[in-house]
Chains A and B, each alone.
Chain A
Amino acid sequence: MITFDRVSKRYDEGHDALREVSVDIDRDDLVFLTGHSGAGKSTLLRLIMLMDRPTRGQVTVDGRNLATVGSRAIPRHRRDIGVVFQNHQLLFDRPVFDNVALPLIIAGYDYQEVGRRVRAALDKVGLLERERAMPVTLSGGEQQRVGIARAVVGKPKILLADEPTGNLDPALSAEIMQLFEEFNRVGVTVLIASHDLALISRLRHRIITLREGRLVSGSAA
């Protein structure tokens, strides 16, 4: 589903964030991406989302070589991918419902369909009752679940998460991971960047480890 073929990324400052990374993530798999802070986890996710382009090598997502995706086609590409961020990236001047509805509005669904899908997504993350609440009135864990609902509402085939439990206590973190496992079970390919080794090693999924931009373990499925 996602293939990195000897991908390197050098930022303008001359720093190598990724060096010759080759990895294959299978369809319907759930994979953890780990490594110390600065190891290149976020960079790897950013390349999948086309927030950045690799300096060398080739990234393929769902059979499409990303080098062939022009800047005008980037929005279309991102609509096929759900993303969850550590800092949630919510619209704080709008209620939960509107936040979750955003990808559907962008995709142009009609209002009935939007309402139906948003409620289904909120139901899955256990926030159906809070659809009219403003994000600031929610706890950190709840805000993260709004972020997850927004990521899955468009039924993407791929779900990316960058440190989704970064600011949460262990119990809440475990709950969030459970949610990801549920989405994975219904056929979503999930890639989660996390440096919380204690948590992810308990979950018995494939773990890819980066160190200073190099893949050090987990290259083979």
Chain B
Amino acid sequence: MSARRLAAQRREGASQSRTGFQDLYRAWMRHHRLSAADSLYRVLDKPLSSVLTWLVIGIALALPVGLNVALDNVDHLSSGWDSPAQISLFLREDLEADRAQQFQQALAAREDIAGARYVSREEALAEFSELSGFADVLASLDENPLPDLVLVTPAGQGGEAASALREELQATPEVAQAVLDMEWLQRLNSLMELSRRLVLAVGGLLVLGVVLILGNTIRLAIESRREEIVIVKLVGGSNAFVRRPFLYTGLWYGVGGGVFAATLVALSLWFLSAPVDQLAALYQSGFQLSGLGIMGALNLVILGGLLGLTGAWLAVARHLVEIEPR
């Protein structure tokens, strides 16, 4: 820089309020605020197309997140049954009631059994008719179709020990049939694992879709402001300066999409909550659907914002440098 130039700058120094680092920082912050406000204004200025964009992003995000919330609920519900496993012993029909009671006490005394509960066929029928809602049908039966029952809870954890115990009990003369209520739990667990992975894969694809949608939206915004970009570059706007409003546009679309997604998930849960409550009451369960929660919703909004920024970055990196004054 020439001496003359330096002298000229010093002369201007008083009126030129951008000398120190602090001033630069303030100017930078000012432009961020300006870009954020201007972009938000532009997004809100076209409510219909913005709401459509938000809805598309919202649905794409709500789908995997909603499914995941549903799986969480199933997990929560089934964790109550997970362990210990239970073995149902259906007693031989010709077994007398006091022999059955003795058998139950002998079982309860065993080391490898945590508990044994005797359910007489009458109790079983009463319980079943109450829970199933088939009371009338059952009352019209001449004969109680249910056998006496002993419900055995194995002491040890682990499916193998329970399986071995079931086989041993199956062999005792009092027992007509021994059923280990665990296979379906294992099946449920592997089904859940599979579902989680599916949701993850679908979620990954949808997230990619969201980024592409946002990238395309920003590309169109850049295209529609091509002349303005040229002018800004002509009067000395840097790439960062030109880029900033578009990054904020992406951010606003993403954040709005996240808000829509959280709302959609909450609405679906609300829509499902009445029948679920009914079902839970029927099974004498205090189970309640749990939703995203405040933190979950907030995370969803942040995720939306990050995806918006990513999409905008991709679009800006590709299309903004191409636009140069000619």
B238 near A91 with CB under 8 A, answer no
A contact residues around B326 at 8 Å (CB):
51
| 9 tightest Cβ-Cβ pairs between the two chains A and B | A108-B27, A79-B236, A78-B236, A75-B238, A63-B2, A103-B235, A75-B236, A106-B237, A89-B231
Q: Is residue B26 within 8 Å, beta carbon to beta carbon, of the partner chain?
A: yes
Q: How far is the CB of B211 from chain A (nearest CB, A)?
A: 28
B contact residues around A103 at 8 Å (CB):
235-236
A62 near B2 with CB under 8 A, answer yes
| Listed A/B pairs (16) with beta-carbon separation below 8 Å | A51-B324, A51-B325, A51-B326, A63-B1, A63-B2, A63-B4, A75-B233, A76-B236, A79-B235, A89-B230, A102-B237, A106-B235, A107-B236, A108-B30, A109-B17, A110-B27
Q: Is residue A155 within 8 Å, beta carbon to beta carbon, of the partner chain?
A: yes
Given contacts A62-B2, A108-B27, A155-B12, whether A102 and B235 have CB atoms under 8 Å apart is yes
Q: How many A-B residue pairs have CB under 8 A?
A: 74
Q: How far is the CB of A161 from chain B (nearest CB, A)?
A: 13
A contact residues around B236 at 8 Å (CB):
75-79, 103, 106-107
Which A residues form the contact surface with B (CB < 8 A)? 49, 51, 62-63, 72, 75-79, 83, 89-91, 93, 102-103, 105-111, 113, 150, 155, 157
B235 near A157 with CB under 8 A, answer no
Pick from A51, A77, A110, A157: contact of B17, CB under 8 Å? A110
Which B residues form the contact surface with A (CB < 8 A)? 1-2, 4-5, 8, 12, 17-18, 23-24, 26-28, 30-31, 34, 228, 230-239, 241, 324-326
B contact residues around A91 at 8 Å (CB):
228, 231
Pick from B8, B12, B18: contact of A107, CB under 8 Å? B18
User: Measured between alpha carbons, how far is A51 from B324 in the docked complex, in Å?
Assistant: 8
User: Measured between alpha carbons, how far is A106 from B8 in the docked complex, in Å?
Assistant: 21
A contact residues around B233 at 8 Å (CB):
75, 78
Q: How far is the CB of B298 from chain A (nearest CB, A)?
A: 33
A110 near B241 with CB under 8 A, answer no
B contact residues around A90 at 8 Å (CB):
231
B26 near A83 with CB under 8 A, answer no
Pick from B2, B228, B241: contact of A106, CB under 8 Å? B241
A108 near B235 with CB under 8 A, answer no
B34 near A105 with CB under 8 A, answer yes
B235 near A109 with CB under 8 A, answer no
User: Measured between alpha carbons, how far is A51 from B234 in the docked complex, in Å?
Assistant: 8
Which of A90, A102, A107, A108 has the most B CB atoms < 10 Å from its CB? A108
Select from chain A the residue with minimum beta-carbon distance to B17. Answer: A113
A63 near B5 with CB under 8 A, answer yes
User: Measured between alpha carbons, how far is A110 from B27 in the docked complex, in Å?
Assistant: 7
Which of A63, A105, A150 has the most B CB atoms < 10 Å from its CB? A105
| Seed contacts A75-B233, A107-B18; 17 additional CB < 8 Å A-B pairs | A51-B325, A51-B326, A62-B2, A75-B239, A76-B238, A78-B233, A102-B231, A102-B232, A105-B31, A105-B34, A106-B232, A106-B236, A106-B241, A108-B18, A108-B27, A108-B30, A110-B26
Pick from B28, B230, B235: contact of A150, CB under 8 Å? B235
Given contacts A108-B27, A155-B12, whether A62 and B5 have CB atoms under 8 Å apart is yes
Select from chain B the residue with minimum beta-carbon distance to A90. Answer: B231
Select from chain B the residue with minimum beta-carbon distance to A157. Answer: B8
Given contacts A75-B233, A113-B17, whether A108 and B1 have CB atoms under 8 Å apart is no
User: Measured between alpha carbons, how far is A107 from B28 in the docked complex, in Å?
Assistant: 10
B contact residues around A108 at 8 Å (CB):
18, 23-24, 26-28, 30-31
Q: How far is the CB of A99 from chain B (nearest CB, A)?
A: 9
A contact residues around B18 at 8 Å (CB):
107-109
Select from chain B the residue with minimum beta-carbon distance to A108. Answer: B27
B contact residues around A111 at 8 Å (CB):
30
User: Measured between alpha carbons, how far is A78 from B18 in the docked complex, in Å?
Assistant: 17
B contact residues around A83 at 8 Å (CB):
234-235
B contact residues around A107 at 8 Å (CB):
18, 27, 236
